[in-house]
Chain A
Amino acid sequence: MYKILKKRVLNPTVTLMDIEAPMVARKAEPGQFIILRTDEDGERIPLTIADYDREKGTVTIIFQIVGATTLRLNQLEEGDFIQDFVGPLGRPTHTEGLKKVAVVGGGVGCAIAYPVAKKLHEKGVEVHAIVGFRNKDLVILEDEFEAASSKLVLMTDDGSYGKKGLVTDALKELILSGEEYDEVITIGPLIMMKFVCALTKEYGIKTVASMNPIMVDGTGMCGGCRLTVGGKTKFACVDGPEFDGHEIDFDEAMARSITYKDFERHAYEETCNLFKMEVK
């Protein structure tokens, strides 16, 4: 059992938790992920590591409430326990030899982009952070990004905060203004990453995208997380989760990501009803 030491609501649908998991914290690196089960009989879900503290033995996760399991997770409070918490899984973000990087995050993906930006910043890499949200209410980690970058561009779809527009607009503007990046690292919704990669391909800038497909075990056993990268089948859990963004078949990834959409919507509603009944 793994204790929740801290819980912070970042916005109405996104929550941060520090989990006591010293064995995971020992080895965790930005870009890696964990798998958790909230309770016995729970589903296994992968979540990317948002931060870690080796001394305290904690791992930070940030999750959006999208389905039954994240809804259940969000019902837990500080001092409560999570049944299973395993990791760190996947390969860490490659940070060697980089001098200037644009980190492009979207929505809750910013939670994963942040530790990458932080690590690069700490290593003396010049980091430009471009983060996008649907609107002002959904903005997360603004101060953290501010501290981990030399330039922060915050975008909202509706212009209610920061600049109005998409992260691709901001990235294009920076590229056109003469900024030269060794690499672009992008983490967020598949559709956003697809367009970021299309843009950088145009300008010939190497781009890494962090994938978060459906998984069961996270150790290479089920193959449910497979993607086509450069015409070859890869497992996100052991070969990734980061891949060359110009080689990923995003359309296939998007199709696969909604395999259980109906099941999940149903499970989410059932769980909601359950909680409503408990409240009554």
Chain B
Amino acid sequence: MPNMSMVKNEMPSQEPDVRNKNFLEVALGYTEEQAISEAQRCLNCKHKPCVSGCPVQIDIPAFIQKVAEGEFEEAYKIISKSSSLPAVCGRVCPQETQCECKCVRGIKGEPVAIGRLERFVADYHNAHSTEKAEKPVSNGHKAAIIGSGPSGLACAGDLAKKGYDVTIFEALHLAGGVLVYGIPEFRLPKSIVQKEIDGLKDLGVKIETNMVIGKTVSIDELMDEFGFETVFIGSGAGLPRFMNIPGENLKGVYSANEFLTRINLMKAYKPDSTTPVQHGKKVVVVGGGNVAMDAARSAKRLGADVYIVYRRTEKELPARAEEVEHAKEEGINFCMLTNPIEINGKDGWVSNVHCQVMELSEPDESGRAKPVPKEGCTVDIETDCVIMSIGTSPNPLIKSTTEGLETQKWGGIIVDEETGLTSREGVYAGGDAVTGAATVILAMGAGKTAAKAMDEYMQSKANA
């Protein structure tokens, strides 16, 4: 008999007023009892609508049935058939617009908490499994992966499982890409990312850090001199955008990338860190996406009074509802319909942000209501630290050093959607480097798609 509760089992979490002062994970995860109770809410629908909402088509009802039966390891096996990073995706996927929004239980009441169950299963596996992934027999073919973010890790994992000799090249000193430099510890503990990476190493994947492809070596050199038959570009969208308004280069103005990298990758939140970051008293975060929420919540944890400034209304905030909710609970202030037009400083340091008050008019090309200036209405916000979180673009380093690699005007690499193949033979791409800033799961899916095509390409070449 299914559990007919209209609401999800609540996620145990740190109290808002406690967690906004530490960097420990906010959500604590289901207990076994809670997971089973939640799993029992699944109706095991024949037509599996949730699966169609999953970018990597995890057999969701099947794994949930195993959870309901208490067979957690079996559940893990089902998830890992389709997903390379369940512990990560269970935490950062926007389930409310993917699997969960298709859930039949969501019609009257709340959908099954698929994300929380995925997380539970992955964490259970990580805590209990002593099984080490067995290194597959090598097939002698070499594949290079550029970037160790979600798309690269997924691509590497799938190829390694098929016996390919896979090397990941990472520009930074630590593997994980946006999972380690971007998403904060309190939302995605770095030990979880490390566990996923260690799993890949067990499969025989080599990780070369401190390798900036396009600088240290080029893609052509990888293929011509280092013997890689195929290359996957998963270099992400790491280039921060600025607003190009006066005062943006004052001290105390950061890109969200810099602020978060200092805190996450370089551990600037720890008192003994050798990397500095400004501990603002009153911080203004410009933008309304997930990255803006991460930056705001990080600044809060460093002791600041934090204001999110966004030019549309709360309804249009691109961040996940859950992130906005968490931010609010933690005491972040939201200034909607506000758009910075000038940053003023004192002695070289930012002192206030001069903002135009906006109002919404007709929807624009993106379908969202277009914000327009409200004539004669401006507002000044006093601040000692401004964090620009208005998006990122693909890094041009690879494009500028790889002849014949076609890109969109805005920098995204052009690929065939079915395979991830770029305009260069043997060179594939996926993730934010192709789509611009998107989600972890979409990047992971793209990595898997490319891995399949790369496998077919190398096999067909070998058999030719």
Q: Are A89 and B275 in contact (CB under 8 A)?
A: no
Q: Are B209 and A223 in contact (CB under 8 A)?
A: no
Chain B 153-186 per-residue mask, 1 if CB under 8 angstroms from chain A, else 0: 0000000000000000001110000000100000
Q: Are B211 and A23 in contact (CB under 8 A)?
A: yes
Chain B, range 247-299, C-beta contacts under 8 Å to A: 248-252, 254-255, 257-258, 261-262, 266-267, 273-276, 278
In the bound assembly, the distance between CA atoms of A219 and B239 in angstroms comes to: 9
For B211, the chain A residues whose CB sits under 8 A away are: 23, 86
Cross-chain contact of A84 among B209, B244, B278 (Cβ < 8 A): B209
Q: Are B258 and A24 in contact (CB under 8 A)?
A: no
Kindly state whether residue B459 has any CB partner on chain A within 8 Å: no
Shortest Cβ distance from B303 into chain A, in angstroms? 15
In the bound assembly, the distance between CA atoms of A226 and B244 in angstroms comes to: 12
> A21 — nearest CB in chain B belongs to which residue?
B210
Kindly state whether residue A245 has any CB partner on chain B within 8 Å: no
Chain A 229-241 per-residue mask, 1 if CB under 8 angstroms from chain B, else 0: 0000100001000
For A224, the chain B residues whose CB sits under 8 A away are: 254-255, 258
For A37, the chain B residues whose CB sits under 8 A away are: 173
How many A residues, CB 8 Å from partner?
A: 40
Q: Are B212 and A219 in contact (CB under 8 A)?
A: yes
Shortest Cβ distance from B416 into chain A, in angstroms? 27
Cross-chain contact of B276 among A24, A84, A260 (Cβ < 8 A): A260
Known: A84-B210, A89-B212, A233-B244. A216 touches B238 (CB 8 A): no
For B275, the chain A residues whose CB sits under 8 A away are: 43-44, 216
Q: Are A84 and B173 in contact (CB under 8 A)?
A: yes
Chain B, range 201-257, C-beta contacts under 8 Å to A: 209-212, 215-217, 238-240, 242, 244, 248-252, 254-255, 257
Q: Are A252 and B249 in contact (CB under 8 A)?
A: yes
Q: Are A264 and B255 in contact (CB under 8 A)?
A: no
Q: Are B240 and A228 in contact (CB under 8 A)?
A: no
Cross-chain contact of A223 among B173, B242, B267 (Cβ < 8 A): B242
Cross-chain contact of A221 among B215, B216, B239 (Cβ < 8 A): B239
Q: Are B274 and A87 in contact (CB under 8 A)?
A: no
In the bound assembly, the distance between CA atoms of A83 and B42 in angstroms comes to: 50
In the bound assembly, the distance between CA atoms of A64 and B212 in angstroms comes to: 26
Q: Are B255 and A219 in contact (CB under 8 A)?
A: no
Most buried by A among B181, B238, B240, B276: B276
What is the interface of chain B, defined by CB distance below 8 A to chain A?
171-173, 181, 209-212, 215-217, 238-240, 242, 244, 248-252, 254-255, 257-258, 261-262, 266-267, 273-276, 278, 348, 395-397
Interface pairs (11), CB distance under 8 Å: A23-B211, A23-B217, A41-B267, A85-B210, A87-B215, A89-B215, A216-B261, A221-B181, A223-B258, A233-B249, A263-B276
- The 8 A-B pairs of least Cβ separation, nearest first, read A222-B258, A255-B348, A86-B210, A263-B276, A223-B255, A43-B274, A221-B238, A260-B276
Give 15 new A-B contacts, CB below 8 A, not counting A219-B215, A238-B396. Answer: A27-B215, A41-B273, A42-B274, A44-B173, A86-B216, A216-B261, A217-B172, A219-B395, A221-B238, A221-B240, A221-B257, A222-B258, A223-B240, A228-B249, A258-B251
